[in-house]
Amino acid sequence: MKIKKLNILFVISVGAIIVYSGCKKDDGALPKRVTVSDVPTITTNIDPTGSTIINILNATTSATFSGKFKVDNYFPGATPPSKVDIVVRKNNFHPYTNPNGVATNGNVKLYKASITLLPTTFTITAAEISSLFGAPIQPYDNYDFAPDIYVDDRKFEAFPVTGIGTGTGHAGQPLWSEFARFNALCQDPNFHQGSFEVVSDAFPNGFTAGQTVTITRVSATQFSFQFPGVTSPTNVNFTVNANTNVLSATKQKIGNAFTFDPTQTNPNITVTAGATNFIDPCAKTIDLNITYQTDQKLFPGTYLLKLRKP
């Protein structure tokens, strides 16, 4: 029994030595060698009284673009930062080259330096944006404006090349915005009407390449057309998102039955809003990834219908 007691005491003693040897004077809940800065929460919101879209279809409209955004402390009365620099990040969310719209921080420019008074409202033109990046604005370019925050001599970036930006942790908070985004789009409220040519249709027994489709303009953000291969075809409405040119369609009946299979009744279609469903007046194209369903079955996947205006 004495041997066992000695062994236990030995282990405890060694453990105590190990713990003690790892200690330093500044150890604790917050070591003295760790610097902590209280970084204020800054919100960057678009001012709706200015332009929100850079319409590059028309040189005149692009030249008159005047985007406005406001940078302010999110919490009233909070200690403001020492200063902020306003920076702008450029990405291109083209439906083919970047269909998921994933932003990267590899192209960031300084817009305004050493802002010490908040709130401050800024106005940006298309010419200024083009000059900052040294290149013409292209369709589907996105420009995100946000602050780099300074607390004393420490800088916290909005769009760091690696790591998390200053504003990413507050998503979903009321009236808060991480950045002000201005999109470059081709927009023409009268484009979606008239005769279009079918480039291709992935749905079997659907449209044929070269076929003419008559599109009816319902409004500046809505159009309709009818589908072939069905009995008693109906007008199907599609919606254009005015901020992104993305297309969508709620579940709608396109006819009473498929002519290629009359047992498939009440065929309907759905188009889910997404980057690959879009209207592009510059390229004169409409792309729709369509889901088909009947009372009897759901056709698997989506089927791309490509239309082009001659």
Question: What range defines the domain where residue 245 resides?
Answer: 194-308
Same domain, 214 and 283: yes
Number of domains in the chain: 2
**pLDDT at site 9:** 37
Query: pLDDT exceeding 90 applies to what percent of the chain?
Result: 69
Is residue 60 pLDDT above 60, yes or no?
yes
Residue 8 resides in a domain: no
Q: Tell me the pLDDT tens digit for each residue of 126-143.
A: 999 999 999 999 888 999
In angstroms, the CA 268 to CA 253 distance is 4
* Structure-token pair, residue 101: 């719209």
Averaged pLDDT for residues 99-118: 91
Taking a C-beta distance cutoff of 8 angstroms, is the pair 295, 280 a contact? no
**Does some domain include residue 14?**
no
Verify that 271 and 298 share a domain, yes or no.
Answer: yes
- Final residue of a structural domain among 185, 211, 245: 185
**Is residue 36 packed enough to be buried (19+ CB in 10 Å), middle (13-18) or exposed (0-12)?**
exposed
Q: How many CA atoms lie within 13 A of 91 on its CB side?
A: 19
pLDDT(17) > 80:
no
User: Is 73 among the domain residues?
Assistant: yes
Residue 18 within a domain: no
The closest alpha carbon to 239, from 213, 197, 200, 272, belongs to 272
Dihedral of CA atoms 191, 197, 199, 201 in degrees, nearest 10, equals 100
pLDDT in tens, 153-202: 899 999 999 888 876 666 668 889 999 999 999 999 999 999 999 999 99
Give me the pLDDT at residue 63, please: 82
Are residues 58 and 160 both part of a single domain?
yes
Mean pLDDT value across residues 49-69 = 86
Give the integer Cα–Cα distance in Å for 39 and 272.
40
Task: Note whether 119 and 218 are same-domain residues.
Answer: no
208 and 158 co-located in one domain: no
- β-strand partners of 43: 72
Phi, psi of 61, deg, nearest 5: -65, -40
**282 and 165 in one domain?**
no
CATH code of 128's domain: 2.60.40
Does 221 lie in the same domain as 164?
no
Supply 157's token pair.
């970036």
229 and 303 co-located in one domain:
yes
Domain end, chosen from 163, 185, 207, is at 185
Residue where one domain finishes, among candidates 185, 208, 243: 185
Whether 180 and 200 map to the same domain: the answer is: no
Residue 12 inside a domain? The answer is no
pTM across the whole model: 0.76
What's the pLDDT band for 243 if we cut at 50, 70, 90? confident
- Separation between Cα atoms, residue 62 and residue 70, nearest integer Å: 22
Quick check: is 2 in a domain?
Answer: no
